[in-house]
Amino acid sequence: MKLHVGNIKKSFAGKTVLAGAEYTFEKGKIYGLLGRNGAGKTTMFNCLTSNLQPDSGEVTMEFDGARRPVDNDDIGFVFTNPHLPEFMTGYEFIKFFIDINKYKIKEEINIDKAFETIDFEPADRHKLIREYSHGMQNKLQILAFLILRPSVILLDEPLTSFDVVVALQIKNLIKSIKHDHIIIFSTHILPLAQDLCDEMVILHNGKLSALDSEKLQDKDFEAQIMDLMMEEAHD
């Protein structure tokens, strides 16, 4: 399984954000998408999910050598700022989410056990979502996509609101499911990307560039990233 990003271009009010972004992502890997704030990481995610229509280019999925346009069921997008129904409890939301997606879910879900996988306290499950902290809301939306298991999972800096213990739990969960998915993790925090990701892709000057994954732990790896970032700022 592969996700092909083909020459995606996107501009806003005459300002180019994506200038022919191209890359092929493969199943079984966690990709770190690095870039400065404002580089266009979220814009690219929105183009991949069709929340935004690119000005040109295409996004396709490949299964067993056959390619087709990406559709909504292929990709799950975990937002930086969760979009959840605040009038429901966490338990009610997950039950509702399972009900409306039951045709996509291949196994029976025990809701309480699902909550346990993200260390969600029993009392908190039955509180209204509007009473949740930002971190708790983020855990809830991550749980939804762990249940749904789309082919491609886009994570837009979701760990920044978690404490150290919860962030570690979520990282371990992400690592445990990567073999069946394409996971793209957007962040501007280099140590987090080095710890979690198998490969690094940098978005600079509106294009995607691969970084040598064999050098992820090199002492000068951060310096290489900074050189690219500074090149973008200069341009």
Q: What is the pLDDT of residues 159-214, one digit of tens each?
A: 766 677 777 777 888 888 899 899 998 877 777 777 888 998 989 889 998 876 66
Q: Is the dihedral of CA 62, 63, 68, 70 positive or negative?
A: negative
Tell me which of 175 and 5 has the higher pLDDT.
5
Q: Tell me the pairing of strands 207-211 and 66-69.
A: unpaired
- Give the rounded percent of residues in the chain with a pLDDT score beyond 90: 46
Residue 84: HSE in the Cβ half-sphere, 13 Å Cα cutoff: 33
pLDDT surpasses 60 at 143:
yes
pLDDT in tens, 68-80: 999 888 998 887 7
Termini Cα distance of the chain: 36
pLDDT in tens, 110-132: 999 999 888 889 999 999 999 99
pLDDT surpasses 50 at 234:
no
Separation CA 218–CA 154 (nearest Å): 27
Q: What is the pLDDT of residue 224?
A: 66
pLDDT bucket at 46, cuts 50 / 70 / 90? very high
Q: Does domain 2-81+151-234 have CATH number 3.40.50.300?
A: yes
Q: What is the pLDDT of residue 165?
A: 73
pLDDT surpasses 70 at 148:
yes
Tell me the H-state helices in 49-89: none
Mean pLDDT of the chain: 86
Q: What is the pLDDT of residue 105?
A: 85
